[in-house]
Structure 1
């Protein structure tokens, strides 16, 4: 296992995991950089083996404030597995007319897999946030993504959020395109609740008995969503447990494959 960490002067967090063709422990590349007066999201290696790695995304300082621009890049090489965890949620605070950005770009190569256990993303009253997630999957890649959106802290109206999720399969064929734009007047009217918990699986389908409002995605995938007025009631526990089990199954099926062969 090789670990490399870098901190430079751009607003970026990067996590990359690759399986060496010669075998042995995975190569894990972790990088973070940003202005000295702005907080960072720092990737911390929790564990790794011959199949992949487990990494925590740790915020250093208050996020998000006006002017913050967080960019996270994730790359999982052929046949590798990555699990991302967040030790705490993210709060977008009041911004006095300013804005903040939160951009995520994910590339999953052939037969790779990613499990990302996201914690609550809170858009406080007075916040203005542009949030974008873009995922590209190679053939037989699998994704399990847990997200929780909270519109306003307790007793608050929501801030302004423009959120876009794009998931592309092999040859950039769209699997899921979703845009959500909410604000102080549209939040309760649009969603019918203050908290939205979502589990998205691509590359497999959740069992038909899974609780929650579900959407079967084009190709092979399932989105399950819970709406509630309190965060603990919107967590799709059953869907998330099933999603992790499905995605991790790819590890055993690719363990004996050579990464260069998977990439063909």
Structure 2
């Protein structure tokens, strides 16, 4: 008998999660491929979705790291992504790291992604991009928290871009340039705040309770974004919005 060995992921290898719905109507994981930084782990099965945990396989992002994530949801399939812990970008000592995700959701597909906080420590320089393509009838619910610095830190440099399309048309396009601490701390930008948290619905406008910071997108989508000086306040309010929109 020949034993098959799997080569360890190399730097730059993407983490791949692909979910489909088979002929019997079951939601199944077609591909779960570990990357250089994250390993997809199946959770307890659910009759109406596939539940996958994105488990970190390295301590965090260092200079030169390039975290790649490819997510695909097939027609009518449903995927829930869970992150057991957050991610920290440490002092890069003059270097740069990247975090890049590409999400493709087919007709009638649905993705719920409950992301944990992403911390950019002082000295880190991070480029982060999220690229989402939704077909007609597809939906995505995404929770996201960015934290500039660990406790007592001012925080590093971050450039975060998001581009989401629905049925081929732009739904959300954002370039969040937080690379210069002097500029981002000006009144009208972040001021003293160093925590940016969001819950975003793409492909659907959820019902639920009204929220003072709710923003309707130019198409089927809605976002609530919060700023604060500490993470627990933001996380508590985002949890309430997430639960409300998830049930709605």
Say whether the fold is shared (TM-score over 0.5).
yes
Which residue in 2 is equivalent to 1:168? 165
Alignment partner of 2:65 out of 68, 72, 76:
68
Which residue in 2 is equivalent to 1:177? 173
**Contact residue 45 and residue 54 of structure 1 kept, 8 A:** yes
**Contact residue 18 and residue 52 of structure 1 kept, 8 A:** no
Which residue in 2 is equivalent to 1:101? 98
Task: Tell me by how many angstroms 1:85 deviates.
Answer: 0.7
Residue 18, structure 1, aligned to residue 12, structure 2: no
**Contact residue 63 and residue 92 of structure 2 kept, 8 A:** yes
Which residue in 2 is equivalent to 1:128? 125
Which residue in 2 is equivalent to 1:210? 210
Q: Deviations over 1:56-91 (max 9, x none)?
A: 001112111111100000000000000001011111
Instruction: Give the paired residue count.
Output: 236
**Contact residue 18 and residue 32 of structure 2 kept, 8 A:** yes
Greater mean deviation of Cα atoms: 180-189 or 68-77 = 180-189
**Contact residue 6 and residue 32 of structure 1 kept, 8 A:** no
Which residue in 2 is equivalent to 1:228? 228
**Contact residue 196 and residue 225 of structure 2 kept, 8 A:** yes
Task: Tell me by how many angstroms 1:7 deviates.
Answer: 4.9
- 1:173/1:7 CA distance change after superposition, 3 Å: farther
Q: Secondary structure at the match of 1:186?
A: helix
After superposing on structure 2, the runs of 4+ consecutive aligned residues of structure 1 that deviate more than 4 Å are 5-8
| RMSD across aligned positions (CA) | 1.8
Higher relative contact order (CA 8 A, sep 6+): 1
> Following the alignment from structure 2 to structure 1, what is the Cα–Cα distance between the partners of residues 42 and 30?
8
**Contact residue 17 and residue 75 of structure 1 kept, 8 A:** yes
Which residue in 1 is equivalent to 2:146? 149
> Following the alignment from structure 1 to structure 2, what is the Cα–Cα distance between the partners of residues 128 and 27?
34
Q: So what's the TM-score if we normalise by structure 1? A: 0.84
Task: Tell me by how many angstroms 1:24 deviates.
Answer: 4.2
**Contact residue 212 and residue 226 of structure 1 kept, 8 A:** no
- Structure with bigger helix share is 1
Query: Could you list the runs of 5+ residues in structure 1 that have no partner in the other structure?
Result: 35-39, 247-264
Q: So what's the TM-score if we normalise by structure 2? A: 0.89
